[in-house]
Every structure is written in structure tokens, then in C-alpha cells.
Structure 1
Amino acid sequence: MALALLEGTKLRLVFEAGMDGKGNPLYKAKTFSNVKKEATADQLFQAAQAISVLCKDPLNKVERNDSTEILA
């Protein structure tokens, strides 16, 4: 049976940075590494909200990216 080991977690904030010439939204993202693996979704969302207050562009989306190693 295979075993999955959580190696790391990253927090990615996606901001709406304006519109292009056709009226489509433009996005930019900022990724934060070395996030505690034990962090809950609520804790990550609170951190994202606190960080977004310091940014000029509105926060569009918050993502959690986990990397996992699969062992045989």
C-alpha cells in the first residue's frame, strides 16, 4: 500500500490587477512558501485577508498548494 507524505504547503493570493484592452480582467499572484503544514483553511484565509489589506489590488482568490511525496 502506498503512503503519502505531506512535504510542504504554499499560500497563493490572486489579485485582480485591472482590465485588458478587451475588457477581460487581468490577474497577478503572490506565493508565500514555508507555510505551516498544520495550518487550517480558516487560518490561511485570515492570513490572506491581513496581507491583502496591505496591497493596492483587490483580492480575487486564495489558494493552498500542498506538495506530497508518494512512497511505495
Structure 2
Amino acid sequence: MPQATLMNSSLRLVFDNGVDENGKQVFKSKSYSNVKSAATPDQFSTAAAAIATLSSIPLASIERNDTLTIHD
């Protein structure tokens, strides 16, 4: 039976950068790699909130991206 092994995680912050000339929502994102793979959603949220305070643009969402290796 195949197994999945968590290799690494990254944190992606998406910021609300207003609207463009056509009225379409514009987002900016910033990614941080080498995040501890064992980090809980609470820890991700706390870290994202702390980092977001350094920006003048409001935080729209927090994303976690995990890389897994699948092997037999």
C-alpha cells in the first residue's frame, strides 16, 4: 500500500491590494518556505498574523502548502 511522507511546508500570505481600473479585486502574495512541517494550524495563524502586522496592506487569507512524497 502506498505511503505519503511529508517533506516540507510553506506559508503563503495573500494580501488584499484593492481593485484595479476595471473594478477587479487585486491580490498580492508572499511565500515563506522551510516552515516546520509539524506546525499546527494555530501556529500558522499566529505566525501569519505577526508577519501581516509588518504590512500596510490588509491580510486576505493564509495558505499552507505541503509537499508530500508518495512511495510504496
TM-score range, shorter chain: over 0.9
Q: Which residue of 1 aligns with 2:27?
A: 27
In structure 1, the partner of 2:45 is 45
- Residue 10 (structure 1) aligns with: 10
Which segments of 5 or more consecutive residues in structure 2 lack a partner in the other structure?
none
Segments of structure 1 that go 5 or more residues without pairing to the other structure are: none
Superposition deviation, residue 68 in structure 1: 0.1
Residue 71 (structure 1) aligned with residue 71 (structure 2): yes
Cα RMSD (Å): 0.6
Q: Which runs of structure 1 show a deviation greater than 6 angstroms over 4 or more consecutive aligned residues?
A: none
CA displacement at 1:36 relative to structure 2: 0.2
Shift of 1:22: 1.4
Match of 2:56 in 1: 56
Which residue identity does 2:35 align to in structure 1?
Answer: V
Length-normalised TM-score, structure 2: 0.97
Deviation, structure 1 residue 17:
1.0
Percent identity, aligned pairs only, is 46
How many residues align? The count is: 72
